[in-house]
Amino acid sequence: MGSQTSVQEMPLHCRLLLSLLSLAVGTAVWLPSLRFVFRPGRDQFRSEVDVAPMARELARRHVDLWMQPEGGTADIDVMRINNPEWDFMGRTFLVLSLANMCLHEPELRHTYLPVIDRIIEDTDRIAQTKGIEYFLLRYATESQFVQQPVRSIFVDGELALMMGARRFLAEHERFRERMRELVHITADRMAVGPVLSCESYPNECWIFCNTVALAAIKMHEILDGEDHGQLLRDWVATAQRKLVHKETGLLCSSYTYDGQMLDGPEGSTLWTAAHCLQIVDEAFAEDQYRRAKSEIAHQYLGFGWAGEWPSSWLGPMDVDSGPVIPILDVGAGSSGQAFVAAASFGDTEYYRSLATTLMFAGFPQVRDGRMRFCASNQVGDAVLLYSTVAGPLWGLIRERSRGGAMR
Amino acid sequence: MMDRPRRWYRQMRAMKWFCPGSFVLCAMVCAAVYVVLYLLGWRESTSVLCGTLPEDRTAQTIQAFQATMYVIFYMGTAVVAPILVIAAIVFQAIVRLWKGQGNAAIDATVTVHEVDLELDGNCRGNANNVE
């Protein structure tokens, strides 16, 4: 009490100086310690050997969305208002996640295979009955696709990828036929394109969609023994020559059908593209990851995040980038996708720093053993779930690819 | 029972800014508002951070407001409040140390002065004896 009285009696300039000094000490002590409060325990969020506890909680929530009556319509409907693509991508990342979980723990197959099948059947049914527009933004119908007949590699590629992931767990006759049809259509259309790419939207080719399609083609190669090696090699060579941003060496995110760059490198595209290229051309993928890490990844005081654009190319904020916080250069879309890339390239340090930021600013919520991130949405959570379990499927593909090459 | 809140209120009003008490008060207010917003379920509204908004314009405005308030007070509680509490402890410690050193200096001055006087007296006494 005595010292409190003496503080009250101090003149303002003394108190102000002491306050500044004390606040500086407080900041210097607390900010470097903050990471220890939010950093998830080792193997709590992602484990290399099995399915981490948080991954299980995330998966439970997603399985409910699909297996309980009306379980997820509200969550998905609100997402579709903003971007119907997210509905489709949420399905893809969930299927990839569940497939990886089944490869981690084969006893999970009897629980997750019916979910996977249901998602794929539902998605394929909608794509065939309601058309590709159902999963595309409105401007898909506002002008003409260059390549005819009209198809979107966004839908074809991800649908084939889902079927491929499912077939690595157990063969499915109907999916085998449908995947073969989708891959043949995609590969044929890519092969005749000026830069070996197909459109996702009218006269808009996206690296994200084209690399996903390449991964699906690679899966088909291994599952059905067909050789698409020439197309894969030519695509990488063309991309290195024509689709790379000169200043950074990073793949641009979108371009016209004849190869004119529309958007430069974007984090919301690059990280997943590098992940998909990992099974197509490992060296090129590794190079893209390394460049992306140096251009758009950030780490500070144990926290990690990713920006949307490199400093040499600033694009507009859009539905893909999500909100970007200036000064700090935090991109919601890019940071989410960075999890996938960091996990698949074994960048444990960056992954942990991203997870620390997620636990700090993603606002996790666990109810009845089901986890979600309030600052995210269904597709965001599906991407995060995928990052927690990614590895076995790509590992299997690379292993079988090397086995095939040796034979 | 009713006296205690009144006393606290009077103490708060009498409190000056830039002192340990005001730091702790700010931290407590921030944490209290955060708890209220959490209990109101405004955490759910933070989905706007990833660009997910409801269709209705009014609902969008409400959700954006709730998310902004929630994020501000969450950051205030997780980042700023602990800094304020640490600062309050450091401030108080410096003042005590300062006060302690000040008292010790005064005590030392008094002791030296007394010794001087004593020596002075003794010297004078001796001089008188010599005379």
| pLDDT at res. A261 | 94
| B48 Cβ contact list (under 8 Å, min separation 6) | A323, B63, B64, B67
In angstroms, what separates the C-alpha of B78 from chain A's closest C-alpha?
8
Q: How confident is the model at residue B7 (pLDDT cuts 50, 70, 90)?
A: confident
pLDDT digits 0-9 by tens, A80-133? 888 999 999 999 999 999 999 999 999 999 999 999 999 999 999 999 999 999
- What average pLDDT score do residues A272-282 get? 97
A111 exposure class (CB count in 10 Å sphere: 0-12, 13-18, 19+): middle
pLDDT of residue B12: 67
* Of residues A302, A384, A300, the one with CA closest to residue A338: A384
What is the C-alpha to C-alpha distance for residues B97 and B92, in angstroms, rounded to an integer? 9
Q: Which residues of A touch B15 (CB under 8 A)?
A: 8
Evaluate the omega torsion of the peptide bond into residue A149 and state whether it is cis, within 30 degrees of 0: yes
Q: Say whether pLDDT at B66 is over 90.
A: yes
Q: What is the ipTM of this complex?
A: 0.85
Enter the tokens of residue A404: 């095939």
For residue A325, what is the enclosing H or E element? strand A324-325
Q: Round to whole Å and give the CA distance between A275 and A341.
A: 6
- Residue B123: what pLDDT? 43
- A28 CB within 8 Å of a chain B CB: no
Alpha carbons A220 and A223: distance in angstroms, whole number: 5
Note the pLDDT tens digit of each residue in A291-302: 999 999 999 999
Q: What are phi and psi of A68, to 5 degrees?
A: -100, 140
Asked if A30's CB is within 8 angstroms of B79's CB, the reply is yes
Q: Is the dihedral of CA A90, A95, A99, A105 positive or negative?
A: positive
HEC string for A66-101? HHCCCCCHHHHHHHHHHCHHHHHHHHHHHHHHHHHH
Higher pLDDT, A74 or A117: A117
Hey, is the C-beta of B99 within 8 angstroms of any chain A C-beta?
Answer: yes
Ordered strands of the A261-263 beta sheet: A205-206, A254-255, A261-263
Residue A253: predicted pLDDT: 94
Burial grade of A329 (CB within 10 A; 0-12, 13-18, 19 or more) = middle
Three-class secondary structure of residue A376 per DSSP? coil
| pLDDT value for A210 | 98
A304: β partners: A299
Q: How far is Cα A351 from Cα B80, in angstroms, rounded to an integer? A: 26
pLDDT higher at A76 or A181? A181
pLDDT tens for each residue of A206-250: 999 999 999 999 999 999 999 999 999 999 999 999 999 999 999
Looking at A204-256, which runs of residues are DSSP E strands? 205-206, 254-255
**CB of A276 closer than 8 Å to CB of A214:** yes
Query: Can you spell out the DSSP letters for A273-301?
Result: HHHHHTTT-HHHHHHHHHHHHHHHEEEET
**Cα A223 to Cα A208: distance, rounded to the nearest angstrom:** 23
Question: What confidence tens digit (pLDDT) does each residue in A250-270 have?
Answer: 999 999 999 999 999 999 999
More confident residue, A323 or A20: A20
Tell me what pLDDT residue A71 has. 62
- What was the pLDDT predicted at A334? 94
| Structure confidence by residue, pLDDT tens digits, A315-332 | 776 767 677 888 888 998
Across residues A154-173, what is the average pLDDT?
97
* A:294-353 residues touching chain B, CB 8 A cutoff: 319, 322-323, 332-333, 336
Question: Which residue has tokens 């409400």?
Answer: B62
> A379 vs chain B: nearest CA distance in angstroms?
10
Tell whether A81 is within 8 A of chain B (Cβ): yes
Confidence of residue A9 (pLDDT cuts 50, 70, 90): confident
User: Which of B13, B17, B18 to probe by mutation at the A interface, max A CB count within 10 Å?
Assistant: B18
Lowest average pLDDT, out of A17-31, A54-68, A216-230, A393-407, goes to A393-407
| pLDDT band, very low/low/confident/very high, at B65 (cuts 50, 70, 90) | very high
Interface touch A26/B84, C-beta < 8 Å: yes
| DSSP-derived 3-state class of residue A372 | strand
CA distances in angstroms from A315 to A82, A274, A291, A325, A367, listed in the order given: 20, 20, 18, 14, 38
Q: CA dist B5 to A205, A311, B2, B28, B33, Å?
A: 66, 55, 6, 15, 18
Q: What is the mean pLDDT of chain B?
A: 80
pLDDT at residue A406, rounded to an integer: 52
Nearest chain B residue to A12, by CA = B18
Residue A6: its chain B contacts at CB < 8 A?
A: 95, 99
Segment B17-24 mean pLDDT: 89
Residue A359 scores a pLDDT above 50: yes
